[in-house]
């Protein structure tokens, strides 16, 4: 444990621009307790483009030393951040509960995930495989021309801008996966805090700042700003010192940042995780044999956390028949008795209600079930709709639109061919789920896999897409509009690759080479030599 | 060897849309022999957007089967293309000579490089490391939640559009590195042939088409179109079936394609290799000890192939003094007696003359040397200019502009600090070169490396940047504007990564998994398990 006690911290409403606390001069942001509609103190003054510039300048200065930190030192920093987040104690959980309406158990779990993620990246940094060291030794005798000595390693792109998500105030926010993987890569981070949980953000930023100080790093390694997406967000992505962007949020927000990044004098990569309806395919044998438990499992996944997950199952695809009718009966029953749940923000709740109304108003859409009616503010009343494959294929943009919350659309297909056609017409997805019986429906399964591996980042069987493991094989990504860059993942150890680029060193004297490439291999890395290991 | 004889092929002027030969109906393109200004037959009718659509539809259809070809089958296809290119015999060399003005030895060498590159990617495909197979086995006993079984592999993005370069009619053109790496990744390719060497393109396309046929692949695996960048190029990048773009050419051309790709409904990655002036830093001790040989080496690199290389040394940075004066004397002498050389096209020659005139007209620029005057058409008359560090820093956009051809600008610095400042103010580069003496100037070398590894894809010592080895550690890439995507390389085995994306399989039955991920490891791949090997 560390110097920071678990004593109560006083929230100040100030940003972190390196070591400096600065109260923004733009319109103040207040968190709202969505469960009570109560406005929370303190006020968080919004930053402006001058604040952005200061933070980015500091990040740029910090980059010179931070990118050269040793593997052990950088790993220790990530672990120190984890310690400092734990040291914030219950205050972090209490504030996050107030700002998000999420229950204690969920937030404690999310804190564990956040801390675990930082520690995983510490391990990844220490192991050094991410440096992808490659050596093609000189061939002085080769004819007609000798080959020089060529060595490659990865270096960080430069300072990274991170935009936290509303729905994971810890694991996808200030010290979430984007920040952890960028810091692991050797990139300073400038966070734009999500306006829905500024107090949670301030506490976590305090923890990171303490870790920066304790590890004796340049103050510019981490800054955090409040403010509008329009002003602060745009200025951040447009700033010449920023070399990559991590974002989790809406399709409109993500594509706006993509445009800013593409129109810079020097375009930069944007890793935006945006929009996904996460289709669930109920294969015939599974539906036949366990329609009831499928209905229960599906309803549980849909209702969890008011459906406020990027991987919420927003689409169910099945073939008409007895089995499907039993599934519908079970799902209707489960949803009709489901209690309303507090959503993250008034804006999200409003968008949910509008999305549900839009779907309900479509002529080809039937409402199969609604949850219990709500009394308090910002409540999500679950919804299950159905339509035909034909109707969906005629209006994929309207019916395939993401409704963020516990809403799902069941597509009834006449046969396997229609089910495959639905799969083919889907946009890019984070996940696709297959409910199947081992050994049954093998031809359909094979055909679906062929289509879905081109549509989704992750394909799962006999589970539900909510729940994203932080590990080495995870892909939390997928073709547009699920993300802006299907070549990457924002969860798991491979997320570090997003902030790296290769550099080749040709005939550079051994003593001047980075340690990763020196002949004696002082970092004891696994290195590719002549294409092999 | 194969069914194709080395007998003379009759050039037809037709495109390849899959197996079909189609004469484009738009304005005809004629190759011009730049050495004689003679127009070459036949005419190549330009394609239109309907042709683009046909080729892309075919590519999309072919993708379904081509991406599932086995490693051995796909490798054999790449090797068959190499065989077919060799089987074109001397006709290919003769036509390429006529279309480009490049000498026989260079083109024979380039053919060897092209064939070698295809064979390297065949080896890469067979080895299978590019599948990056990762397995995190299930942990059913884990608390609080069990871990599912998670497996990751890479899949191809989809059909790729390739734009060949004028300056490497074989190695960076129809069957060049972009095509070879895309085909290796499992992506069908639609090439827009460069209008400067349509006959060379037709011959190579014929070879690829033969290989497609002999390997019994779907005809849509390869198409090639002629036409304007404006119509055919734009339509190709905008086509929904195309999922990535490989381009080698000008900054204007590359950034235009980047804009088209970013404005699609589904944005796609563009790998454009564009603009680089490849700074050469002459460190004090090296200049002191071997100014004469440095001058000879530099002049040789600058004059080679009329300077028509992406890695041409267009900038020399050195500190004033005796040594530099000797270098200048030597370089002046070498250049002043240099014969003019034929450039690739009238347009390139015109742009060269304009670029040289623009530089010569700058008030702070002195002309140090010009090559011998030319008499024939399209001749490159070498040029060496000098300026001060101060002047360069005041006008980096004008003085740092790429002049494609044998032109270079020497920047005279007063001291090491000025040299470092020049390095800091450079745009992104493909290469940066250091001429140094082992053990001398170590502080300066270290400071330069720190700056240059953020500026360039490849840093080399005591050589010249022309000459790009095709191997595993090569990086032919670099920050914008050297390329559009600094995370990648367009030369070497890592180029395959540009056309791949990861997919995660969670709890998928073993028999339904792709072979790369099945428990028994039937492909005998090196796989990451629980983060280790």
Looking at the predicted structure, is the pLDDT value of residue B3 above 50? no
Looking at the predicted structure, is the pLDDT value of residue B8 above 80? no
Looking at the predicted structure, is the pLDDT value of residue A79 above 60? yes
Q: What's the pLDDT at B506? A: 98
Specify which residues A434 forms β-bridges with.
A281, A461
Looking at the predicted structure, is the pLDDT value of residue A390 above 90? yes
pLDDT digits (tens, 9 = 90+) for A142-158: 998 999 999 999 999 99
Looking at the predicted structure, is the pLDDT value of residue A392 above 60? yes
User: What's the DSSP call for residue B175?
Assistant: T
Give the whole-angstrom CA distance, residue A312 versus residue A4. Answer: 37
Residues A333-356: b if buried by 16+ CB within 10 A, e if exposed: ebbeebebbbbbbeebbebbbebb
Q: Please, what are the domains in chain A? A: 15-101+157-274+488-498 (3.40.605.10), 279-461 (3.40.309.10)
Cross-chain Cβ contact A147/B471 below 8 Å: yes
User: How many angstroms from the chain centroid is the CA of residue B521?
Assistant: 35
Cross-chain Cβ contact A502/B266 below 8 Å: no
Answer whether A143 touches B (CB < 8 Å). no
Looking at the predicted structure, is the pLDDT value of residue A457 above 60? yes
pLDDT digits (tens, 9 = 90+) for B432-472: 999 999 999 999 999 999 999 999 999 999 999 998 999 99
Q: What's the pLDDT at A275? A: 87
% of chain B beyond a pLDDT of 90 = 97
Q: State the virtual CA torsion across A510, A512, A518, A524 in degrees, nearest 10.
A: 150
Cross-chain Cβ contact A472/B152 below 8 Å: yes
Size of interface A-B (CB pairs under 8 A): 211
For the segment A164-182, the average pLDDT, to the nearest whole number, is: 97
Answer whether B414 touches A (CB < 8 Å). no
Closest residue in chain B to residue A112, using alpha carbons only: B144
Cβ-contact A27, A46 below 8 angstroms: yes
User: How many angstroms from the chain centroid is the CA of residue A97?
Assistant: 20
Give the whole-angstrom CA distance, residue A490 versus residue A493. Answer: 9
pLDDT digits (tens, 9 = 90+) for A25-53: 999 999 999 999 999 999 999 999 999 99
For the segment B197-225, the average pLDDT, to the nearest whole number, is: 98
Q: How far does the CA of residue B386 sit from the closest CA of chain A (Å)?
A: 27
pLDDT digits (tens, 9 = 90+) for B113-159: 999 999 999 999 999 999 999 999 999 999 989 999 999 999 999 99
Per-residue HEC secondary structure of A383-443 comes to EEEEEEHHHHHHCHHHHCCCCCCCEEEEEEECCHHHHHHHHHCCCCEEEEEEECCCCCCHH
- Which residues touch A268 (CB under 8 Å, ≥6 apart)? A157, A237, A242, A243, A244, A245, A261
Name which of A135, A457, A462 is nearest B473 (Cβ-Cβ): A135
Parallel, antiparallel, or unpaired: how do β-strands A189-192 and A222-225 relate?
Answer: parallel
Q: How far does the CA of residue A124 sit from the closest CA of chain B (Å)?
A: 8
Q: Where are the beta strands (DSSP E) in B250-361?
A: 270-273, 279-282, 315-319, 341-342
Cross-chain Cβ contact A477/B502 below 8 Å: yes
Chain B contact set for A147 (CB, 8 A): 469, 471
For the segment A98-122, the average pLDDT, to the nearest whole number, is: 97
Residues B133-159: b if buried by 16+ CB within 10 A, e if exposed: bbbbeeeeeeeeeeebbbbbbbbbbbb
Answer whether A440 touches B (CB < 8 Å). no
| pLDDT band, very low/low/confident/very high, at B9 (cuts 50, 70, 90) | confident
Looking at the predicted structure, is the pLDDT value of residue A373 above 70? yes
% of chain B beyond a pLDDT of 70 = 98
Q: What is the DSSP string of B92-129?
A: HHHHHHHHH---HHHHHHHHHHHHHHHHHHHHHHHH-G
| pLDDT band, very low/low/confident/very high, at B275 (cuts 50, 70, 90) | confident
Q: How many CB atoms lie within 10 A of CB A25?
A: 12
User: What's the DSSP call for residue B483?
Assistant: B
Chain A contact set for B154 (CB, 8 A): none
Q: What's the pLDDT at B5? A: 44
Answer whether A484 touches B (CB < 8 Å). yes
Give me the residues of B, 278-337, that contact A with CB < 8 A. none
Which of B83, B99, B110, B310 is the catalytic position?
B310
Per-residue HEC secondary structure of B310-325 comes to CCCCCEEEEECCHHHH
Q: How far does the CA of residue A404 sit from the closest CA of chain B (Å)?
A: 21
Average pLDDT over all residues of chain A: 96
pLDDT digits (tens, 9 = 90+) for B373-417: 988 999 999 999 999 999 999 999 999 999 999 999 999 999 999
**B310 belongs to the catalytic site:** yes
Q: What's the pLDDT at B13? A: 97
pLDDT digits (tens, 9 = 90+) for A397-434: 999 999 999 999 999 999 999 999 999 999 999 999 99
Looking at the predicted structure, is the pLDDT value of residue A3 above 60? no
Radius of gyration of chain B (CA): 25
For the segment A76-80, the average pLDDT, to the nearest whole number, is: 98
Chain A contact set for B469 (CB, 8 A): 136, 147-148, 150
Closest residue in chain B to residue A154, using alpha carbons only: B487
Write the ipTM: 0.97
Cross-chain Cβ contact B460/A269 below 8 Å: no
Which of B99, B219, B273, B402 is the catalytic position?
B273
Name which of A266, A460, A472 is nearest B134 (Cβ-Cβ): A472
Looking at the predicted structure, is the pLDDT value of residue B4 above 60? no
Q: State the virtual CA torsion across A359, A361, A364, A370 in degrees, nearest 10.
A: 60
For the segment B207-226, the average pLDDT, to the nearest whole number, is: 98
């Amino acid at each position: 444990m560390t110097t920071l006690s678990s004593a109560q911290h006083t929230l100040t409403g100030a940003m972190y621009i390196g070591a400096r606390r600065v109260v923004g001069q733009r319109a103040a942001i207040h968190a709202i307790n969505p469960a009570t509609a109560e406005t929370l103190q303190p006020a968080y003054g919004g930053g402006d483009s001058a604040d952005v510039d200061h933070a980015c300048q500091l990040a740029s200065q910090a980059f010179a030393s931070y990118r050269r930190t040793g593997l052990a030192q950088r790993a220790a920093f990530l672990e120190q951040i984890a310690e400092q987040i734990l040291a914030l104690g219950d205050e972090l959980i209490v504030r996050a509960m107030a700002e998000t309406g999420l229950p204690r158990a969920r937030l404690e779990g999310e804190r564990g995930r956040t801390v675990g993620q930082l520690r995983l990246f510490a391990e990844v940094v220490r192991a050094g495989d991410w440096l992808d060291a490659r050596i093609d030794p000189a061939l002085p005798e080769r004819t007609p021309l000798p080959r020089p000595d060529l060595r490659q390693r990865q270096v960080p792109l430069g300072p990274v801008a991170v935009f936290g998500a509303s729905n994971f105030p810890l694991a996808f926010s200030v010290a979430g996966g984007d920040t952890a993987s960028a810091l692991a890569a050797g990139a300073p981070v400038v966070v734009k805090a999500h306006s829905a949980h500024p107090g949670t953000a301030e506490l976590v930023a305090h923890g990171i700042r303490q870790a920066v100080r304790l590890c004796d790093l340049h103050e510019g390694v981490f800054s955090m700003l409040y403010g509008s997406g329009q002003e602060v967000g745009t200025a951040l992505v447009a700033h010449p010192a920023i070399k990559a962007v991590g974002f989790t949020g809406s399709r409109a927000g993500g594509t706006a940042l993509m445009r800013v990044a593409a129109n810079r004098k020097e375009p930069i990569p944007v890793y935006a995780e945006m929009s996904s309806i996460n289709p669930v395919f109920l294969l015939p044998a599974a539906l036949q044999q366990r329609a009831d438990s499928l209905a229960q499992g599906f309803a549980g996944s849909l209702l969890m956390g008011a459906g406020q997950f990027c991987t919420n199952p927003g689409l169910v695809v099945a073939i008409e028949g007895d089995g499907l009718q039993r599934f519908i009966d079970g799902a209707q029953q489960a949803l009709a008795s489901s209690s309303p749940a507090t959503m993250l923000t008034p804006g999200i709740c409003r968008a949910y209600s509008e999305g549900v109304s839009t779907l309900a108003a479509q002529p080809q859409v039937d409402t199969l079930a609604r949850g219990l009616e709500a009394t308090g503010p910002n409540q999500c009343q679950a919804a299950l709709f159905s339509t035909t494959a034909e109707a969906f294929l005629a209006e994929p943009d309207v019916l395939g639109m993401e409704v963020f919350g516990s809403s799902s659309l069941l597509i009834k297909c006449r046969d396997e061919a229609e089910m495959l056609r639905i799969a083919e017409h889907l946009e890019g997805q984070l996940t696709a789920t297959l409910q199947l019986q081992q050994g049954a429906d093998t031809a359909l399964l094979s055909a679906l896999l062929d289509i879905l591996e081109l549509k989704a980042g992750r394909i799962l069987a006999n589970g539900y897409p909510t729940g994203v493991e932080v590990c080495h094989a995870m892909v939390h990504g997928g073709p547009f509009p699920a993300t802006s860059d299907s070549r990457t993942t924002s969860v798991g150890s491979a997320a570090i690759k997003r902030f790296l680029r290769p550099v080749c060193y040709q005939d550079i004297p051994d003593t001047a080479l980075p340690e990763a490439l020196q002949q004696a291999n002082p970092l004891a890395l696994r290195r590719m030599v002549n294409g092999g290991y």
